[in-house]
Structure formats: structure tokens, C-alpha cells
Amino acid sequence: MKKKVGIITMHKVPNFGSALQAYALQHKVDELGYDAELIDYHYPNKYHCAKQGLAYFPQRSTFRLFILNVIARLMLIAHVNKNRAKCEERIERYELQKNYRRFYRRYFKLSRFYDSIESICNNPPDYSIYMTGSDQVWNPRFVANDPVFFLDFAGVDKPRLSYAASMSNRKIDKEFEDLYKAYLQKYAAISVREKSTAEIVSRMTDRGVNVVCDPSLLLNKGEWLRICPKKPLVKESYLLLYIQSYSYDPYPHIVSFTKELAEKLGLKVVVLMGLRDGYSIDGAITFETAGPFEFLQLFRDARFVVTTSFHGTAFALNFGKDFYSVVKEINGDDCRIADFLRQCSAEHHLLEIDSLDHIENLPQANTAESEVQKLQEFRGQSLDFLREALRQ
């Protein structure tokens, strides 16, 4: 009988990278001969929202979301202009969630649902092996002191592993160090996603820490394309723009830069998830409600990529695209993109946001075969770690 492996990660955040990395790790653990399951822990829940000063919205049923969507559409048909903007927002949110749920239903294997720290600690799922997966699961800014992402609910006799966990930053506040140290001492094997995170964890635990690739990179381009819908979403040659702005604010520079670069390259602009209100690119095609499938399609068919996203960077390199990754500071606190590109000797794709006014002095954006080979080697080393860690 196959050993069961429970993976805790941020799998249902409506973010392409979160969904795709969760699937990839589950898939690879299965391929290695185990029965992997994603622990269906709701993030962000009341605890995280309170820590971050955010409003908490409990997970709603699919049926309830469908009914709210129908009501919003009927109100638009009836020309109830008073609530038009709210109705349009609700419809858009429903379409977005529908596209994500389509991916979840097809590819996620889930445990029972846990909506709080108390619910999982009081009735924990039972596995042979427990694993903290990837994404920013150890970033104090997002999870604070949540013990769940450190597998504190697991039985004392059960092995704990981590694969490509991230703190995202180059340093951690003193207030978290003692608690994190106590949690991490219980792990049988630790791997992290960034060199900077490895340095922090090694200092706290006084042990060696492996740096491995993001789970989404455990799958090569061919493996991703096997689950990617074949039909292209855009027939023209295009530059794909994918902006994430929770780490820093790239506006307005990113928009003017993309316009100028697309014109120079003779490419149409496709915007994944849209631009901030008040910004536009003439003639651009926008995908406001794309899910993981659409993400894969758009990256597969892009001629060029401009992104501020870690996973946008990862997929651009993995798919062999020419691209620029725009960061606040190459040696700044958020080191996820820079650390990854350095690992693959691909730093020339990095641009600082304040340098975008000088388009005539841009470094080369082509993805060389040597970079793809470096990524392949990194993937092999990471799979070796995962294989050996699961055997402990």
C-alpha cells in the first residue's frame, strides 16, 4: 500500500502560481510512488485577516456563488443602474472563481475542509508523512505565527518535511525567531525556495538547508503542455504583460515601458488580469477572469513576456520565452525573483522599476539554451532531494 503524504500550502488563493505549484508538488509526489493529498486548510482565514487588518470573508458554497451571480446578471438586464458597478464586479468575481474551481476539481486531491487553526488542531488529518509545501508559507507578513504551516498539528511521531518553503525576505523580525526555531527543529528534512531563506533557517536551526526549485518547475514545459488546452486564446503574435503589485507598486512605469517595448517589437499587448483603474494600453486584449488553464495557454503562445511576478518569471523561463522580470530593487528585501534567476545564470532578464525609462539601454531578453539547461539541472537536484526526503 502506498504511503499517504499530506501537503500543507496556499493552494486555493486565487493566484495562478499558488494553484499551479500546489498541483505540481502533489503530482510529483504521486509520481514518486506515494499517495499525495492537499490539506484543504482555508487561507486566509479569520486569524490571518485579523493579523493583517483585513476583512474576513468565509468560503462560500458553489451554489451560493452561482445564485449571487444570477441575481447580478438579472439586475443588469433590468437596468438597475444604481448597483451596476457592484453587479459587474460580482459577475467578474464569479467567473474568476469558476475558472479556478474548474482546475481544482480536475487536478486537486483534497482532504476534508478546515476553516481555522482550531478545526485542524482538534481533528487533524492522518498521514504517514506530513509536508509543508511551497509558496510564501513561512513569510511572517502573511502567516504571522500560524502553527499550521509548520505542521504543528501532526502527531509527534510522524515525519515532517518541507519542500521549497519561502519566507520571501532576506531577514526575519526577532519576534518570530524563537517560535520559528521551535517549529523548525521538529522537521526531519528542510528545503526552501530561496538562498536567503536557507540562510535564515540554517542560522535558526544550526543545520544544513537545501535550496530547491519552486514546485511549478518540477514539471518541464512538455509536462505542463499535457494539461494545457490546445486551442490558442489569441491568434496574433503578442507580448504578454502579467503584473502583480502586492510586493511593490510598479505603476505607472510598467505601463509606459510595455507600450514602448511592444511597439518596438511589433507585437500586440495581451494583459493577464488587467491593469489598475485609470491605466490602459491602446488595442490591448485583456483577460480579467483567467484561471490556471488560461494562464498556461497565454504563456505557451506568447512571443515575449513582461512580468513583476515570481511565477510569471518561472513559467517564462521554463517555457523558453524571451522576457523581462521587473523588480523594485535587484538586491532588495523581496529576493524571490533575483535568487531564482541567479540560480539559473539568467540575471540579465532582471530590470529595476526605476530603470524602465531607458529602453534603448536594455539588456538582452533572450532565453539562452544554457539557462534552460541550468534549470534542468536545478530540477534534477530538487527531485533528488524530494525523493530522498520522502524515504526518511
**pLDDT one-digit tens code per residue, 71-104:** 555 555 656 556 666 666 666 777 888 899 999 9
What would the mean pLDDT of 215-241 be, rounded to a whole number?
97
Write the single-letter amino acid at 26.
Answer: Q
Q: How confident is the model at residue 279, as a pLDDT?
A: 94
Backbone φ, ψ for residue 293 (5° rounding): -65, -45
Q: Is it the case that residue 199 has pLDDT exceeding 80?
A: yes
Q: How confident is the model at residue 42, as a pLDDT?
A: 93
Q: How confident is the model at residue 280, as a pLDDT?
A: 94
Distance CA 141, CA 365 (A): 32
Position of cell 528585501? 333
Q: How confident is the model at residue 72, as a pLDDT?
A: 52
Instruction: Check: pTM over 0.85? Answer yes or no.
Output: yes
Q: Which among 211, 261, 216 is positioned nearest to 241, based on CA atoms?
A: 261
Cβ pair 346, 320 in contact under 8 A? no
By mean pLDDT, which of 7-21, 38-52, 119-133, 313-327 is the weakest? 38-52
Distance CA 25, CA 110 (A): 13
Q: How confident is the model at residue 48, as a pLDDT?
A: 83
Cβ pair 345, 328 in contact under 8 A? no
19 vs 252, 338, 377, CA distance in Å?
28, 22, 24
Distance CA 10, CA 20 (A): 11
Alpha helices, DSSP H, located in 78-173: 84-107, 117-122, 140-143
Partnered with residue 131 across adjacent β-strands are 7, 161
C-alpha cell at 343: 540560480
- The total number of residues shown for the chain amounts to 392
Q: How confident is the model at residue 70 (pLDDT cuts 50, 70, 90)?
A: low
Partnered with residue 113 across adjacent β-strands are 40
Q: How confident is the model at residue 80, as a pLDDT?
A: 56
Alpha carbon 74 to chain centroid distance?
35
Question: Parallel, antiparallel, or unpaired: how do β-strands 268-272 and 285-287 relate?
Answer: parallel
